Amino acid sequence: METKIIEQGTFSKVGNEFFPKNFHTPYIKYLILERKHQLNKPKFYIIAKFKGNDIFISSLYPMQQKNQFKIEYKKEYFTLTIEENQVLINPYFTAKTNSMS
């Protein structure tokens, strides 16, 4: 069974790292990093640390709400909300079409 690298849920956050609150799945840690040279890309991005590998997840595309971003991994779209001690990841749906975009 393939491990999902990114999925919806509530994650514990410490500094720029976040990780699943439950450990029923193999341990994955996420890092929010800042690009040194933006080159027309968003300032921040996410990588996952899994089984000794760094896996690029997505750039963080700012949304209208403060600390809320749109992310995409393998054609799956999510909203990512950064709070003081946690990160929330939910499926991204457009209000008009009730579909992902």
The pLDDT of residue 98 is 47
For residue 2, is it within any domain? Answer: no
For residue 4, is it within any domain? Answer: no
From the number of C-beta atoms within 10 Å of its C-beta (0-12, 13-18, 19+), residue 2 rates as exposed
The pLDDT of residue 25 is 54
Model pTM score: 0.81
Which residue type sits at 78?
Answer: F
| Number of separate domains in the chain | 1
Q: pLDDT for 18-72, tens place per residue? A: 988 765 555 789 999 999 887 889 999 999 998 889 999 999 999 999 999 999 9
For residue 84, is it within any domain? Answer: yes
Please measure the distance between the N-terminal and C-terminal CA atoms of the chain and give it in whole angstroms.
27
Taking the C-alpha atoms of residue 101 and residue 60, their distance in angstroms, rounded to an integer, is 15
Range of the domain at 60: 9-91
